[in-house]
Amino acid sequence: MVGEMNFLTILPLAVVMVAGTQLVAAVFLAAADRPRAASLGYLAGAGLVVGGGVTLSWLVTRAVKLNVGDAGQGGHGPVETRIDQVVLVLLVVLALVVFLRRHSTGPPRWMGRLQQAGPGYAARLGVLLFLAMPTDDLTMLTVGASAARHDLPWWHLLPFVLLTLTLLAVPLLALLLLGGRAARVLPRIRDWTAHNSWVVSELVIGFFVVVTLVDLVR
């Protein structure tokens, strides 16, 4: 029996994945000399890490359940309780990291070099950014573990990955849809993300904390 959680429950955490430097970098790439090629390369690198990260977390959690003989039961036994506790700890740490980084506004100096970025460089940037950001690592661990804990099949992770990439593609979509007007829109996206994204992230994390607590207490 599949748990009550479904892929719709974990989708909001995609916002946490892109909030901050990740989306700001996407804005810079959309304004680069080769915006389409650079942005697509960036999305490819990010997709590789996000897809691989949630899959690895799902596989590890699934293996734990298999080893204790509870996989596929959809119950609320000791194993599920332990997993929920781990997920809750991950969420608390994630909320703390987001809060401590809330004043880290403004693009890093190295982003000024993205004007000449090609697809290869952008792809490597996507890989490095999503690997090096603690918020992304914690979010991928949480999503994969939660899906496996509720016996969700692997493909339920795909909507999360696709939404993450869609949010990351907003600057490129703005460029394609707005053309010259994107020069006015993109800086607004960059500035709003740099100053307000942490609030949205905390709200999303809080929602998932409530979902996890419900699993623990029932």
C-alpha 107/C-alpha 59 separation (Å) is 35
- Assessment of whether the complete model's pTM goes beyond 0.85: no
CA distances from 39 to 23, 25, 62, 192, 208 (A): 11, 9, 34, 20, 30
Query: Alpha carbon 115 to chain centroid distance?
Result: 25
pLDDT tens digit at each of 218 positions of the chain = 334 566 678 899 999 899 878 888 888 888 888 889 999 999 999 999 999 999 999 999 999 888 775 444 445 667 777 888 888 898 899 889 888 877 665 555 666 677 778 889 999 999 998 998 888 999 999 999 999 988 899 999 999 999 999 999 998 988 888 776 766 777 777 677 767 777 878 888 888 888 888 877 77
